[in-house]
Structure 1
């Protein structure tokens, strides 16, 4: 089943020539970056933005190779272009994401067993329970629901908060502030007062959580981090654990929740996809959304040595942006890449990265996405999105919806027999 692309939210008019300037902090770029990515792949595969002083890779082969080469493209200064999150101090903010092997693997390994496919399978029943706790009252409230805010974004946050030992009464508070961490003004790479206040509240909360867990450890990841010993026999400091919690919560709910909303949006945009998805093709629906419109758009590295790529001299020390979302639309790898094809072989997509920094929570995220869609499909026969009132997230890194209001048609209840 293949369906042509049409009607993307805020997509430029067909006869309007896009302005080919890549600034990930621009709202105009964030509305629909894909025409810009296409131009970059063909005309500037090593794109240079002199105003923000970064280079960018957009072709699949280049992005994939760079992600697998931490010796040339290091994480040591972090993975974000934002000044507050970039530099030698990045470790304090994003923890092991600001490290290269072997240090990266040592710290990542502290929690990796909880994110293996085997561990994820053991957690699936609980994920379903958390889905029903969100979905049932939402559908009972009427046929007009906000799929993104009240369901798609809520479930992944509930899952990761429970894994960390956050009391259930605080789950929505954590999500409220986490959602504000990525919000920026148009073309700004600086945090607003609202964002800084949210970050301060979360840091304060996590410090208190670590203190309580040290006194009363339990069966959760925060307790594991408090008790873990790292190389040399030492233990993580409170500030390191707090940075770890920021990383796990942000990674656990931001990307996954936005991807679920993107899948739902493309199901509305493409009726054949909606029918196939709601009738059971959850993995195909999910995987093609991951390739076609990934919630995670970009990541950054520091170039450690002078390199030449596609005739462009890239000097050591500059920032290099890698665009997996562009790579997933490269015609050199995917036939008709701008078509959402639910029958496509998506195994080569790099939505979860590649190399040593391949997403730790990838297996958990895919399980959550599939289960969230399955549980919704068990109740919803079809749906329409109120696109005029939908709102996209304003983020250089994340693509998706903060609000996705829709009207749903419930499935007829099967009469119980026996």
Structure 2
């Protein structure tokens, strides 16, 4: 059968891993003429490209959809869609505000948010893990981090959900999602103006105060960072929670291990086995020759991290979900200069969420007929994950 791969293909969304296996074996440098991109699928090639930001540029963004790809990408992805020196400057200023200490001090509030979100769901016994918990929980966490007033958090939760839920019939961003992004930009702009007049102890205040000599982030740059947090800090955590829940449901022996206290291993193996972020886009700045294939300058390169995590040369029995596995080689948070700045926060969010669930839940079932997958060119996960729990 002719090898065909497209990140827009709904069959790929249903199960990309057989496609990846063929790509790694038959075409490690794959060309898709229809969608105009090249794809790298082997671990060594993906890792090398992620670390080579000189030849593999991020300036056109991380996704291929026309709304996201091109010079305007930094409006959606902030410094993640920049190359040095712009990337270096912005990342260093954001690092001054987004400190490990700030993340660590959030843990008690994260537990309060998780418990408050879970309480009515546990009382019901059956709920949609995504709509009822995995979406609202990280949205409220980011609101807490940024300093969104309690009275506005319902609005932020609604707008965040509009952006994150992808149309069941298309990978294109829905008009409602574009409107929600515009509303978020407007809201965060007003909040930034207000916070400039009156500082508090939140991340937004810290971003306003972050400086390198006389160099400071502009209000527009700060709003860009806050919009980035919707995708990086909310959507990725939502999808990862759903994927971890689903993977453990399909592997009861490993679920028992996870519920026995191996939460960190559950998170790490889930992000290796079925990552929320399946690919990252780059643009070549010079011709590149790889596996006897010549890729021209200016080409779009899809780096398939989801495939890299199933590479047999790095992970033994990669199609097996195994909490005893060494996942240290995984590229879940990227590598190189674009290594995820919020990795510590994401891991804390995931750990707290699953610890709080496991503390109250002895076991659970999911309803396969009710599962609804998102459709995205680079993300993988669920829009609906019906769950029934057995309490301890």
TM over 0.5, shorter chain: yes
Q: 2:109 aligns with which of 115, 118, 126?
A: 126
Q: CA deviation at 1:116?
A: 4.9
Are residue 101 (structure 1) and residue 79 (structure 2) matched?
A: no
Distance 1:197 1:96 in 2: 23
* Structure 1 residue aligned with 2:305: 324
Counterparts in 2 of 1:263 and 1:380: CA distance versus 1, 3 Å: same
Are residue 25 (structure 1) and residue 34 (structure 2) matched?
A: no
Counterparts in 2 of 1:160 and 1:184: CA distance versus 1, 3 Å: closer
* Structure 1 residue aligned with 2:73: 90
Q: 1:169 aligns with which of 144, 151, 170?
A: 151
* Structure 2 residue aligned with 1:43: 26
Q: CA deviation at 1:119?
A: 4.1
* Structure 2 residue aligned with 1:289: 270
Q: 1:77 aligns with which of 60, 65, 75?
A: 60
Q: CA deviation at 1:184?
A: 5.2
Provide the aligned C-alpha RMSD in A: 2.0
**Structure 1, residues 365-413: CA drift from partner, whole Å, max 9, x if none?**
11211111111011000111112112122222221112211111110xx
Distance 2:174 2:224 in 1: 20
8 Å contact 1:266–1:273 — kept in the other structure?
Answer: no
- Structure 2's unaligned 5+ residue stretches are none
Counterparts in 2 of 1:24 and 1:177: CA distance versus 1, 3 Å: farther
Distance 2:171 2:363 in 1: 40
Distance 2:29 2:350 in 1: 33
**Structure 1, residues 28-67: CA drift from partner, whole Å, max 9, x if none?**
2211111111111111111111111111111100000000
8 Å contact 1:305–1:317 — kept in the other structure?
Answer: yes
Are residue 52 (structure 1) and residue 12 (structure 2) matched?
A: no
Distance 1:287 1:255 in 2: 14
Counterparts in 2 of 1:77 and 1:126: CA distance versus 1, 3 Å: same
8 Å contact 2:106–2:145 — kept in the other structure?
Answer: no
* Structure 1 residue aligned with 2:250: 269
Q: CA deviation at 1:244?
A: 1.3
Distance 1:93 1:384 in 2: 37
Q: 1:352 aligns with which of 333, 346, 365?
A: 333
8 Å contact 2:279–2:305 — kept in the other structure?
Answer: yes
Q: How does 1:366-377 map to 2 (within 5 A)?
A: 366-377=347-358
8 Å contact 1:27–1:187 — kept in the other structure?
Answer: no
* Structure 1 residue aligned with 2:231: 250
Matched position secondary structure for 1:301: strand
Q: How many residues align?
A: 392
Distance 1:35 1:41 in 2: 10
**Structure 1, residues 345-381: CA drift from partner, whole Å, max 9, x if none?**
1111001111000111111111211111111011000
8 Å contact 1:23–1:187 — kept in the other structure?
Answer: no
Are residue 404 (structure 1) and residue 385 (structure 2) matched?
A: yes
* Structure 2 residue aligned with 1:199: 181
Are residue 337 (structure 1) and residue 318 (structure 2) matched?
A: yes
Distance 1:266 1:49 in 2: 30
Q: CA deviation at 1:313?
A: 0.8
Distance 2:66 2:105 in 1: 40
**Structure 1, residues 206-241: CA drift from partner, whole Å, max 9, x if none?**
22222222222211111222333357x243333222
**Under a length normalisation based on structure 2, what TM-score does the superposition of the two structures give?**
0.94
Q: CA deviation at 1:310?
A: 0.7
Matched position secondary structure for 1:101: coil
Q: CA deviation at 1:117?
A: 4.6
**Under a length normalisation based on structure 1, what TM-score does the superposition of the two structures give?**
0.88
* Structure 1 residue aligned with 2:133: 151
8 Å contact 2:167–2:374 — kept in the other structure?
Answer: no
* Structure 2 residue aligned with 1:225: 207
8 Å contact 1:101–1:356 — kept in the other structure?
Answer: no
